Amino acid sequence: KQEVTQIPAALSVPEGENLVLNCSFTDSAIYNLQWFRQDPGKGLTSLLLIQSSQREQTSGRLNASLDKSSGRSTLYIAASQPGDSATYLCAVFGTSYGKLTFGQGTILTVHP
């Protein structure tokens, strides 16, 4: 059974800091890994999707890496802003199960 773990559970940083969110998964048989953002009471917004054959993806200040062999992904946020405050979720789409498995999320607070 696929299990996804995110560390830390919560993170509070001052504006301008670079930060790293971590995600680990137990079964490396995946099609892809997605990072999502969720604002309170809202649905999920896809930030980055990394295919299993890729090592990283970048979008603006965000960079996500994938090391499938070790079952790890990181989301790097450069020059954080208060508007980045949200819950960040990672999820893997497994070849064995045909579905997404989510981590518990990291609650990020960026204070001015």
Residues contributing to the site for other proteins (CB under 8 A) = 4, 31-32, 34, 36, 41-46, 49, 51, 89, 91, 93, 98-100, 102-105
Whole-number Å distance between alpha carbons of 36 and 87:
8
- At residue 36's C-alpha, the angle toward residues 65 and 28, to 5°, is 45
CB of 90 to other proteins, least distance (A): 9
CB neighbourhood size of 47 (10 A): 20
Nearer to other proteins, 45 or 58 (CB): 45
Question: Nearer Cβ to other proteins, position 55 or 99?
Answer: 99
Nearest approach in angstroms of CB 100 to other proteins is 6
Nearest to 92 by CA among 34, 53, 41: 34
CB of 107 to other proteins, least distance (A): 8
